[in-house]
Structure 1
Amino acid sequence: MELSKKHFEACCSFFLVFFSQQVFSKTPTGLVVRGNDTDQQALLQFKAKITDDQLRVMESWNSSIHFCQWHGVTCGRKHQRVTKLELQSLKLSGSLSPHIGNMSFLRVLNLLNNSFYNQIPQSIGGLRRLETLYLTNNSISGEIPSNLSSCSKLTIVRMAGNRLTGEIPAFLGFLSKLKVLSFYNNSLRGSIPPSLGNLSSLEELALTYNALDGIIPETLGRLTNLSIFLAAANAISGTLPVAMFNLSNIRFFDIGENKIQCTLYTDLAITMPYVEFFSVRGNKISGQIPISITNASNLDVLQFNDNRLSGKVPSLEKLDKLSTLQLAVNGLGHGREDWEASKAKNFFAHINILSGTIPHSIGNLSALTIVGLDFNNLQGNIPPSIGKCQSLLELTVSYNNLSGPIPPQLLGVSSMSIILDLSSNHLTGELPVAVENLKNLGQLYVSQNRLSGLLPKTLGSCVSLEKLYLDGNLFEGPIPSSLSSLRGLEALDVSNNNLSGEIPEFLVRFGALRYLNLSFNNFEGVIPSGGIFKNASATFVEGNSKLCGGIPELHMLRCNLKTSSSNSLRLKVAIIVVTLGVTLAFTCLLILWIGKKKEKQATATSVENSVLQLSYQSIVRATDGFSTQNLVGSGSFGSVYKGVLQASGAVIAVKVLNLLNRGASRSFLAECEALKNIRHRNLVKVLTAISGVDYQGNDFKALVYEFMENGSLEDWLHPLIGMNGPETARNLNFFQRVSVAIDVAHALQYLHHHCEEPIIHCDLKPSNILLNEEIVDKLN
């Protein structure tokens, strides 16, 4: 009954527009065309609804020139009637005037990337010649006008990135010429109308990030021209129509993060020869991965993760273009043949039941960058051939049954810069001295194995380490003094070993350290009382019977008189040494001040401590559709946007490259090649790189950095007059300026002397020195 009511309303709107045009377009002498003053008045009414015009675009809309010469206005030559209104990306704000419906010759309306709000006026249904409608990335609310179906010549409708509510009108199925229908990133509800299956010319249907429910209609299987189908991140349920697997023109197919329940069979025919992105992740799909998927020779990304799939993974040898394979969190696997043939640069198969050994042929996959095999049943040794994977950034094989020694060849992969996780296996032998090659590694986990011997002194060469977990092994001897160079450590766990000797004093000076576990070893002597040792909730020392002292909250035994006398003597000697000279004392105070400043630095956010796996969708969401309000800066290289990740709330900076510039893609590859091997506390951290396509099929490349709250050194040294006012002008004191100089020197020293290949910063200037919220500078 509700459907027929909408049908009736749409028909009434159509005939009302048709009738009004017949009445007002004829005179007793016959058919006449209304004067173009109608269009001029409509444009002036449009201007009157603009509430914010930062770029002063509307200033050209005045009587000094003909309205056909106004910015963004195009008229037809014959009748001087407005045919195009193109005002995209001009930082305009306001509501859409109902008078827009009077421009009856309008064919193109493009208002994308602005800040228009309120509802789309119903009068838009009167634009019978309208072919292209772009309203993407605004703040438009309300429902999609049902009488839009009266615009029978529409071929492109893009309303993504708004605040639209209500349901998708069923009468859009009457727009027989429609090629693009994009409503992603709104708040639409209800089900996908079956009538959309009548749009035989439809090439793109984008509905991702809404609140749609119901099922995917069987009728969509008739859309033989469909190239892009995106319906991820909704609440769609039911089964997946088999006919959808036979849409031979599909390039992008994404139904991930829904509630779809169906069973896949090995004999299911998937006829998608051109598909590049195929994702059914995050549903309740069971059965086996169909063998026919291996015929999709153009596949770049294949995502079956987070479902209920079982059985063997078919051989993927023919998928030469495959860069990302996600099979994680299923019940897949009965042998190594399930995955060894994969040519994925990124291979995710954690939380399955993969068994057997890691094949020696893994060394042939030289393009591998990320491998995730946690929580499986892999056995045997780690093959030394993995050392041939010289592009590897991350390897996680925790919670398996691997045994034998850690091959030195693995630790020779100097490209490893994110995580090496070998924990919770049965590895034996010593930690190889070859660990010194991992100078760029951020996190190292060898916990819960059977490793023994002394901790290698070469571990101190891993100067980029932020997390080091050695717990649950048989290591013995003291903590090497060479570890004093790991000043960026945020977490250190050596608990449950046989380590001995005194607690190193250099741990007190680790300003970034937020977790320290020394428990259940054989340490002896006095527990320090400075630095992290002042925080009982972050320091663990129990199970060391020969330790004493420390803050009362640690509940350790008090040190005896002999120890106290020894400490008193040391204090007297220290006082005498300090008083030897004023210059030396000043220097010590300056170093101490800088050390304390480093101690106060906040712990890195979760977005820096974890592996970011971002998609174009998540970047669009984080930046509010690349909203102009989030634009930080722009130039010939592209644009930089501030973004907030919805999953963690972390703030990021997104550098989107302008690929229209000659050499932009080559520059992107070169920058990625350089950045993947550099990690330093005084360099702006690159969180991840994104290379793919947007929803229009255009190439998209971006770099994601940590966001620096306090801008650049240029802003502090040379603030713009009147920006903050004299009473709030920012300034750097003497100690802060000295600290900035020291930090820049550290960054340059690292680039020149500690990178795999020396890097010369060719644009060192205050605007490229960024400061975080603690006024710690980082070189960009």
Structure 2
Amino acid sequence: MAFVGFLFSHTISTHNMDTFSTLLLLLILFSCVSLSAAHNITQIKSDESILHALKSHITSDPFNMLKNNWTSGTSFCTWIGVTCDSRRSRVTKLNISDMGLEGSIPQEIGNLSSLAYLDMSGNSFHGRLPKNICSHNNLQRLKLLDLSSNKLQGDIPSSLYQCPQLESIDLSRNSFGGYVPAQISNITLLKELDLGVNNLRGRLPKDICSHNNLQRLKLLNLSRNEMEGDIPSSLYQCPQLESIDLSDNYFGGYVPTQIWNITLLKVLDLSWNNLIGRLPKDICSHNNLQRLKLLNLSRNEMEGDIPSSLYQCPQLESIDLSDNYFGGYVPTQIWNITLLKVLDLSWNNLIGRLPNDICSHNNLQRLKLLDLSFNKLEGDIPSSLYQCPQLESIDLSRNSFGGLVPTQIWNITLLKELDLSHNNLRDFGENGKATALASNDILQFLNAQSNNKIGHTPKSVKSGNILFSFWGLRRNGF
């Protein structure tokens, strides 16, 4: 104050007014810088105290990761898992994942105002996530929140939507309960939402993607929870969606037709639910689902024909429609899906014959698993199967296939599992010869029990690596 008085007494004249103004501005600037520096020092000390608070909530540190490293004698910006910005020494990233830590998450964590990335996954944190984690302007810069694979419980805080910069939320593999907070759909920049493997219940909001909500969302995972109700048709209004996993819940009703219009969709897993109805005939027509790689609708109650238009989804690698009530014929066009690796149509009501050229003409060159068990298929087993060189597992059991087992099947070099049980097969090719089997060191499982007359057992089966206990010749009629 004495300095200010001196300035006033010596610069009051008009002649010295310019000098006075300049000095006054310098004084104000100096005061602002001092206040800013003091504020920054306060925030730095606050960040350090918050980290100490977190450490005090750790009850077990089996590898002494924090005990030996988070010490008062060193700068907290050098502590393991801590990243600071170089200019202000504020904590911007906290990664203490996979350290075997046990403890709880303190409320103070929300006061790390410069924090952009928080990863505490792969530990044993328990208790509840602070309700006000994003309230009161907390964590306004947070982009990533990963607390997956812990033991957290309680409700998911609705205040998460008050972290406006959030792009990724992963709370999977915990014990969170209650409902998915409706406010979560208001996080404008959200790209990934993974709440799988928890105890969440209730319904998904009907307008989850309406009103321009979640326009950047790419991944939605709510698998292995206890959710119910209809799947919201508004999901198609999230135009960036690439992966939807709602498997292992209690969702019911019909699959909304709008879902097939999500242009960028790569993964759709609705398995293990209570879904009913039919698949649309034009599921992949009109350039729909051109990027779809995985389609899993297994363990539902769906019926009707399998759409032949599936072959118009050129990127499909895995189709699993098992354990439903699909009927009719296996569409011949399905064998033209070039990139297909997994085809599981087991446990349905499919009828008819398999085409002789199923693997001919360079079809299904990447197919690894073919499961058509527990259907009503008949006719011969196609000898062209050996022209699918990547096949590792074939299950044609519990059908009505007849005739001879084609000897060419033993030429599938990578074949590990072959189940032909419970059919009407008569023998292993000509005179029961399976000479190629003798050189197959990869085959681990062969089941041909309960057929019509398979009486010739290749010697290599008795002495090789095959799981002979499942051979079951005593149940064959010879």
TM-score for both structures, normalised by structure 2: 0.83
Q: CA offsets per residue over residues 266-320 of structure 1, 9 Å max, x none? A: 3334622222221000001111112221122322221010001111222233323
CA distance in 2, matches of 1:380, 1:408: 15
Which of 188, 197, 202 in structure 2 is aligned with 1:176? 188
Indicate the residue corresponding to 2:453 in structure 1. 427
Counterpart amino acid of 1:393? K
Distance 1:338 1:99, change over 3 A: farther
CA distance in 1, matches of 2:370, 2:261: 27
Are 1:340 and 2:358 counterparts? Answer: yes
Indicate the residue corresponding to 2:256 in structure 1. 241
Which secondary structure state, in structure 1, belongs to the residue aligned with residue 276 of structure 2? coil
Distance 1:370 1:405, change over 3 A: closer
Counterpart amino acid of 1:134? D
Indicate the residue corresponding to 1:486 in structure 2. none
Q: CA offsets per residue over residues 211-257 of structure 1, 9 Å max, x none? A: 11111101111122111111111111111111212222222211100
Indicate the residue corresponding to 2:316 in structure 1. 299
Distance 1:446 1:136, change over 3 A: closer
Indicate the residue corresponding to 1:365 in structure 2. 388
CA distance in 1, matches of 2:447, 2:99: 48
TM superposition shift of 1:123: 3.0
Which of 335, 341, 348 in structure 2 is aligned with 1:317? 335
Counterpart amino acid of 2:149? N
Distance 1:130 1:472, change over 3 A: closer
Counterpart amino acid of 1:418? Q
Instruction: Kindly report which structure 2 residues correspond to 1:258-657, keeping only aligned pairs within 5 A, or say none.
Output: 258-269=273-284, 271-314=288-331, 315-337=333-355, 340-341=358-359, 343=364, 344-404=367-427, 407-409=432-434, 411-412=437-438, 414-415=440-441, 417-427=443-453, 430-435=455-460, 439-443=464-468, 445=470, 447=472, 469-471=473-475, 473-474=477-478
Are 1:55 and 2:72 counterparts? Answer: no
TM superposition shift of 1:374: 1.2
Are 1:145 and 2:138 counterparts? Answer: no
Q: Percent identity?
A: 28
Which of 110, 122, 134 in structure 2 is aligned with 1:101? 110
Distance 1:269 1:432, change over 3 A: closer
Are 1:134 and 2:149 counterparts? Answer: no
Q: Does the CA-based 8 Å contact 1:408-1:434 persist in structure 2?
A: no
Q: Does the CA-based 8 Å contact 2:283-2:310 persist in structure 1?
A: no
Distance 1:384 1:61, change over 3 A: closer
Q: Does the CA-based 8 Å contact 1:313-1:339 persist in structure 2?
A: no
Which secondary structure state, in structure 2, belongs to the residue aligned with residue 266 of structure 1? coil
Which secondary structure state, in structure 2, belongs to the residue aligned with residue 216 of structure 1? coil
Distance 1:354 1:442, change over 3 A: same
Task: Report the aligned-residue RMSD.
Answer: 2.4
CA distance in 2, matches of 1:170, 1:49: 31
Counterpart amino acid of 1:389? I
Indicate the residue corresponding to 1:200 in structure 2. 215
Q: CA offsets per residue over residues 10-63 of structure 1, 9 Å max, x none? A: xxxxxxxxxxxxxxxxxx989954522221221111111111111222232222
Q: CA offsets per residue over residues 82-122 of structure 1, 9 Å max, x none? A: 21111111111110011111111111111011111100112
CA distance in 2, matches of 1:113, 1:360: 49
Q: Which has the higher contact order (CA 8 A, sep 6+)?
A: 2
Distance 1:295 1:472, change over 3 A: closer
Counterpart amino acid of 2:451? N
Q: Does the CA-based 8 Å contact 1:232-1:258 persist in structure 2?
A: yes
TM-score for both structures, normalised by structure 1: 0.52
Which of 80, 94, 97 in structure 2 is aligned with 1:88? 97
Q: Does the CA-based 8 Å contact 2:293-2:315 persist in structure 1?
A: yes
CA distance in 1, matches of 2:111, 2:458: 78
Q: Does the CA-based 8 Å contact 1:400-1:424 persist in structure 2?
A: yes
Which secondary structure state, in structure 1, belongs to the residue aligned with residue 301 of structure 2? coil
Q: Does the CA-based 8 Å contact 2:168-2:192 persist in structure 1?
A: yes
Which secondary structure state, in structure 1, belongs to the residue aligned with residue 202 of structure 2? coil
User: How many equivalent residue pairs?
Assistant: 425
Q: Does the CA-based 8 Å contact 1:170-1:195 persist in structure 2?
A: no
TM superposition shift of 1:188: 0.7
Counterpart amino acid of 2:84? C
TM superposition shift of 1:445: 4.7
Which of 48, 68, 76 in structure 2 is aligned with 1:40? 48
TM superposition shift of 1:71: 1.9
Indicate the residue corresponding to 2:7 in structure 1. none
TM superposition shift of 1:68: 1.9
Indicate the residue corresponding to 1:639 in structure 2. none
TM superposition shift of 1:405: 5.4
TM superposition shift of 1:154: 0.3
TM superposition shift of 1:404: 4.6
Which of 152, 167, 176 in structure 2 is aligned with 1:155? 167
CA distance in 2, matches of 1:226, 1:251: 8
- In structure 2, runs of 5+ residues without a counterpart are 1-30
CA distance in 2, matches of 1:67, 1:446: 65
Distance 1:354 1:295, change over 3 A: same
Q: Does the CA-based 8 Å contact 2:97-2:120 persist in structure 1?
A: yes
Q: Does the CA-based 8 Å contact 2:451-2:476 persist in structure 1?
A: no
CA distance in 1, matches of 2:448, 2:60: 56
CA distance in 1, matches of 2:416, 2:387: 16
Which secondary structure state, in structure 2, belongs to the residue aligned with residue 99 of structure 1? helix
Distance 1:223 1:366, change over 3 A: same
